[in-house]
Structure 1
Amino acid sequence: MPRGKKNPAVTLSPQNPYIVKAREWERVQELIKQIEALDEEYKNMVLAHLKKRA
């Protein structure tokens, strides 16, 4: 890395790619919890919808 240029991996800025991925993963984990909390019928509907989109 050239002198004077900061490595983005060591900054805590919102644009840090590692922080962005960590926040995305936190959102995914929250969605999983919400889906798991649904009644079985609704959970199956959500999972079927997600399979169609994949």
Structure 2
Amino acid sequence: MKLSTEESFRITYFIYLVDHVISSLQSRFEQFEIYIFQIKVNKYLFAFNNVTKKIK
């Protein structure tokens, strides 16, 4: 089966590039989600620590 030049380009480069972009974005969003979660946890732990100091 002979592919046209456009189909060959799409299969060889474009789909590979799009797949790579999606993987990179997914990884970055996962890292961002972890970062935001750590900020929230630290904020709550700091508030909890202040409350326990006031109780003592």
**TM-score band, normalised by shorter chain:** 0.5 to 0.7
**Matched residue count:** 35
Percent identity over the alignment is 3
TM-score for both structures, normalised by structure 2: 0.51
Looking at CA atoms only, which structure, 1 or 2, has the larger radius of gyration? 2
Unaligned 5+ segments in structure 2 are: 1-15
1:40 aligns with 2:55: yes
Find 1:3's aligned residue among 17, 33, 42: 17
Unaligned 5+ segments in structure 1 are: 11-15, 42-54
**C-alpha separation between the residues in 1 aligned to 2:55 and 2:42?**
19
Q: Once the 2 structures are TM-superposed, how far is the Cα of residue 3 of structure 1 from its aligned partner?
A: 1.9
**C-alpha separation between the residues in 1 aligned to 2:49 and 2:18?**
48
> What CA RMSD, in Å, does the superposition of the two structures yield over aligned residues?
1.7
**C-alpha separation between the residues in 2 aligned to 1:22 and 1:40?**
30
Runs ≥4 in structure 1, deviation > 4 angstroms?
none
Partner residue, 1:28: 41
TM-score for both structures, normalised by structure 1: 0.52
